[in-house]
Amino acid sequence: MLRVHQSNFRVIGFEERPRLEEVAAVARGHGLPLVDDLGSGHVSASNRLLLGQEEPTARESLEAGADLVCFSGDKLLGGPQAGIVLGRADLVERLRAIRCSARCASTSSRSPRSRGRSSSTEAPERIPVLRTLAQDTDTVRARAERLAAATGGEVEETVGRVGGGALPLAELPSFACALEESLAGPLRAGEPPVVGVVRDGRLLLDCLTLTDEEAEATAAAVERARA
């Protein structure tokens, strides 16, 4: 039996889903292995609290009765693109037809080791995506103000969307540098390309997605685009 966690969609209204324990009971009653596809999921409860999302962890899925759990290694661990399967050894052994390269396995294994060497409060700093999501709003606002001052733009309050396979509705407060819409094309065609959001006749450069160093490079890109 296969349960697939809803990824980039949500059903809103009167809807109900069986708990994984209930699905596991049905699978055991028919002598079938239960596979739980988490899509992305979370490594730990601390990540879930960071994003405020009810995403399951692989451990919780196994404890609820799943025989195999599969998820996306790059989304979950911040490593290379990969699919990971955990669960009963006899079932995992039957999946030998699907293997990743030695390089992928090596780099995937370094991500959790790096996370393991850090404390729970330091862990987000080691994974670029989590570091971005954990930014303080005041830090993002200050970055937007610096970019606006350097480019002659204006600071505009906006919302950053996490998106991806597991967090389609997660929104984070953010601030952008608003510029003239005519810069959108030249910035995309520049080197490096700068991709913004065109809204209400203005180009928004969301500073949640930029580091301080990238904001400086963006200011230089804006100057080149105008020239």
List the domain boundaries for the chain.
2-122, 135-226
The domain 2-122: what is its CATH number? 3.40.640.10
What distance in Å separates the CA atoms of residue 179 and residue 157, rounded to the nearest whole number? 13
Give the pLDDT confidence score for residue 99 in this predicted structure. Answer: 62
Give the pLDDT confidence score for residue 226 in this predicted structure. Answer: 93
The domain 135-226: what is its CATH number? 3.90.1150.180
Which candidate, 156, 158, 219, places its Cα nearest to that of 190? 219
Q: With H, G, I as helix, E, B as strand and everything else as coil, classify residue 159.
A: strand
Tell me the sheet residues that pair with 37: 4, 70
Give the pLDDT confidence score for residue 109 in this predicted structure. Answer: 64
Phi, psi of 46 (to 5 degrees): -65, -40
What distance in Å separates the CA atoms of residue 125 and residue 15, rounded to the nearest whole number? 37
Give the pLDDT confidence score for residue 75 in this predicted structure. Answer: 61
Give the pLDDT confidence score for residue 100 in this predicted structure. Answer: 65
What is the number of alpha carbons within 13 Å of residue 207 lying toward its C-beta? 30
Which region holds residue 31: left if phi is over 0, alpha if psi is between -120 and 50, else beta?
Answer: left
Q: Where are the alpha helices (DSSP H) in the chain?
A: 20-29, 45-51, 58-63, 73-77, 89-93, 102-116, 123-126, 128-133, 137-151, 184-189, 212-226
Instruction: Enter the pTM of the model.
Output: 0.63
The one-digit pLDDT tens for each residue of the chain (227 residues) are 999 887 666 778 898 889 999 999 999 999 999 999 987 666 554 454 445 556 678 889 999 999 999 887 766 565 667 788 899 999 988 886 566 666 666 666 665 555 554 444 445 566 677 778 788 899 999 999 999 999 999 999 999 877 665 566 678 899 999 999 999 999 999 999 999 999 999 999 999 999 999 999 999 999 999 99
Give the pLDDT confidence score for residue 95 in this predicted structure. Answer: 84
What is the number of alpha carbons within 13 Å of residue 84 lying toward its C-beta? 23
Give the pLDDT confidence score for residue 15 in this predicted structure. Answer: 85
